[in-house]
Amino acid sequence: MTKEKIKAAFFDIDGTLAEMKSHVIPDSTRKALHRLREKGICCVLSTGRHPLEVSEENILPDLTFDGGIWLTGQFCELHGKCILQNCFTAGQLAVLKEFLERHGRSCIFLEKDAMYCNLVDERIKREQERIGTAVPPVRDTADLEKRRILQAVPFIDAEEEKELLGLLPDCRLTRWGDGVVDFLPAGGGKEKGILAVCRELGITPEQVIAFGDAENDISMLRLAGIGVAMGNGEPAAKEAADYVTDRIEADGIRKALERFGII
């Protein structure tokens, strides 16, 4: 892979661009992103987060991106234009609501322009604190089936995860904490977002470099022409990657981009 072939770069946020919880972004990463955009390489976020979180909590201050794969690929935009939305069906939401009520579990629901939870318990407080993000407001979910929900974040353990997937086998999930998962309708995933961006740009996945650190990055790392796992990443992400770079705080992103001659 030569630098001339890379046309777009995709970046996870937590554990990749920014340190978990503190959201500290190395100066070397900021400079590397600036150099990419100077070279005309399209820079796109690829995250499980909602754009409201990133904006309201100022998670990526003073950084500019050409687009975002949000909510693990459920909502994607490029140059201010929405290019993909993938919502749960009313039937799926009815099953999920019944499951949560039966177990008394908290869950965050994410729409295009809103995020909220059904209730607040110790588990949601603990997991949100771990990533340095506030618990969203509570909203009544009586009419949940009528809403355009892009992603759910149920705060459930491994046994409850198995039960939920048994009830909704067409959906998929990725775990990002001991007591929490990202839950997606069929057809979701960061790789779907990359494919949508590639179609818009008129490029192929082989012309993409992607950076990630966790389970929900695996499909993206496998799809990209160059999949880079962070040195601080999970073993499964490293196994899926073409290359394992250094840790965030040791200038991992800059080193990988230089290693492949992209900057």
Among 130, 165, 184, give the residue marking a domain's end. Answer: 184
Q: Are residues 214 and 141 in the same domain?
A: no
Q: What does the pLDDT read at residue 4?
A: 57
Q: Are residues 159 and 209 in the same domain?
A: no
Please report, for residues 15, 31, 85, 228, 249, the alpha-carbon distance to residue 28 in angstroms, rounded to integers and kept in the order given: 15, 5, 33, 17, 9
Residue indicated by tokens 């909220």: 116
Among 184, 218, 241, give the residue marking a domain's end. Answer: 184
CATH label of the domain that carries residue 35: 3.40.50.1000
Q: What does the pLDDT read at residue 132?
A: 86
Q: What does the pLDDT read at residue 213?
A: 97
CA dihedral 60, 63, 64, 69 (to 10 degrees): -30
Q: What does the pLDDT read at residue 8?
A: 98
Q: What does the pLDDT read at residue 45?
A: 98
Number of domains in the chain: 2
Q: Are residues 100 and 175 in the same domain?
A: yes
Residue ranges of the chain whose pLDDT lies below 50: 2
Q: Are residues 39 and 157 in the same domain?
A: no
Q: Are residues 212 and 193 in the same domain?
A: yes
How many Cα atoms occupy the beta-carbon half-sphere of 86 within 13 Å? Answer: 24
Q: Are residues 176 and 211 in the same domain?
A: no
Q: Are residues 67 and 133 in the same domain?
A: no
How many residues in the chain?
263
Q: Are residues 95 and 173 in the same domain?
A: yes
CATH label of the domain that carries residue 147: 3.30.1240.10
Q: Are residues 123 and 47 in the same domain?
A: no
Q: What does the pLDDT read at residue 198?
A: 98
Q: What does the pLDDT read at residue 209?
A: 98
Among 168, 184, 200, give the residue marking a domain's end. Answer: 184
| DSSP string for residues in the chain | --GGG--EEEE-TBTTTB-TTT----HHHHHHHHHHHHTT-EEEEE-SS-HHHHHHTTSSTT---SEEEEGGGTEEEETTEEEEE----HHHHHHHHHHHHHHT--EEEEETTEEEES---HHHHHHHHHTT-PPPPB---TTGGGS---EEEE---HHHHHHHHHH-TT-EEEEEETTEEEEE-TT-SHHHHHHHHHHHHT--GGGEEEEE-SGGGHHHHHHSSEEEE-TTS-HHHHHH-SEE---GGGTHHHHHHHHTT--
Q: What does the pLDDT read at residue 131?
A: 87
Residue 216, domain extent: 3-85+188-259
Q: Are residues 61 and 142 in the same domain?
A: no
